Structure 1
């Protein structure tokens, strides 16, 4: 089977929404080539276990690559993708150069080529994310290893929004806690929560592909008895009391379920949010405060913001 590689030169800010657009149009084999990765490696506080080839990355911004079947609908599909990306401007998302290119590739060339971008990475004091096909030896007795296979649809778990989320989980999840992960994707935040001590985790995502990916990664880590993955729209019809709600989603979506997060948290519980760009920070903060949350922590990485809010009453 022949495939077309679609390459989009854009900004770090647009990674999440464009990745979602590509996924919704049936694209496979998502690869993110981020020029900021080199600075991140040089400044990494937890050490680094791999090297990047600068030839694989743009001089500035981000290249997002995915793969589409080479068929009679290709032109229409590409046009749909272009239009959807242009529509992101309505939400004040900087799409940068927005240069879209198409090239033909053979299936055997791309089916495994994307794996070269994915290596073990220590992203916090305790947590290291490791692809299933890589060998890795823990460097400390308390190191937590997340086995992750992103398949061809999800990221590798090392994007700044995910790193910020896991660093917050490491700080605020306690042994025996119950956690809700809203928008679970590959399940990496659910898995991190369980490995960091949570006794029970509920992973919700509207996308059934994400639910299946979460279930597969949960099995890889032997956590079937702790993590329940379910298709659900945010926190609709969810009624329980938990210690932590975590969500790595766009700011515009976070503000839609702040009240539901509040209602599902115990007194003293934490709402960990990530996926927030700088110019949406106040939007999320204001909504959290309006609901009654206390903002107890804010962290930034490569232009992305995470906020930790506490329910005190």
Structure 2
């Protein structure tokens, strides 16, 4: 969908301290460290949210959307309202939580932009994301052979009329036939598992069933990425070659090369690939974290195009095209 008057008005990010990863992870992926925090996902989101609100300046907020991939710290509890209570002086129109797993930041951008496009009574939307991956809940090095998980929060304020970057277009698609990659043979449970999740084990179970092969999944991944990128770029009237930055998820070298760099013809220097090797894959925060890094530290020139590409388990694919102001 094309957007005419939706702007990124402020962004923020907060990551844990960097810790080295096991040698075999570095040898295979090129990832040398991951962000590691003792703060919960909601606490990380609050740190980032304060930065985003300060950057956006004073003004009312309509809805607040809070996203995460990991367990937020309590069952049957509104993490979004906890975050909103610590960030907003006035109660938002709605505070809700959502997840598109690793695609959460991108799903949030699309949802927030659509709310602003369809609801003129909403002045701005606050978007927060935060994930922590403690060893008691998940093995951050056994989720996927090509990633290692890092702890971080990220946030953005979207509004109308002005901002740091204008949202030109955003496109998503879903291939639900791939949801079993994160499910495998695991049964549905009445409560969270007592043992840490080893998601790579579920992926092996999925392939053992024989309905899909690793090669077919790679093809489906590349097809999904290409489809949303090509459509979003066409709607924005631009191309990969004209973009100043093209930012896929923070993944290891193999996944980056075969899932994004080669299929899209990317220039590695304009992708924040190196940041991902230091921070790890930040769960649902990757793209809002990257966007804040670009807008605060990358000094984009007016008119520079920024292309964000998200992929999440399920599988969902999203591409957003922005123009720096």
Q: Same fold (TM over 0.5)?
A: no
- Which protein has the bigger strand share? 1
Higher relative contact order (CA 8 A, sep 6+): 2
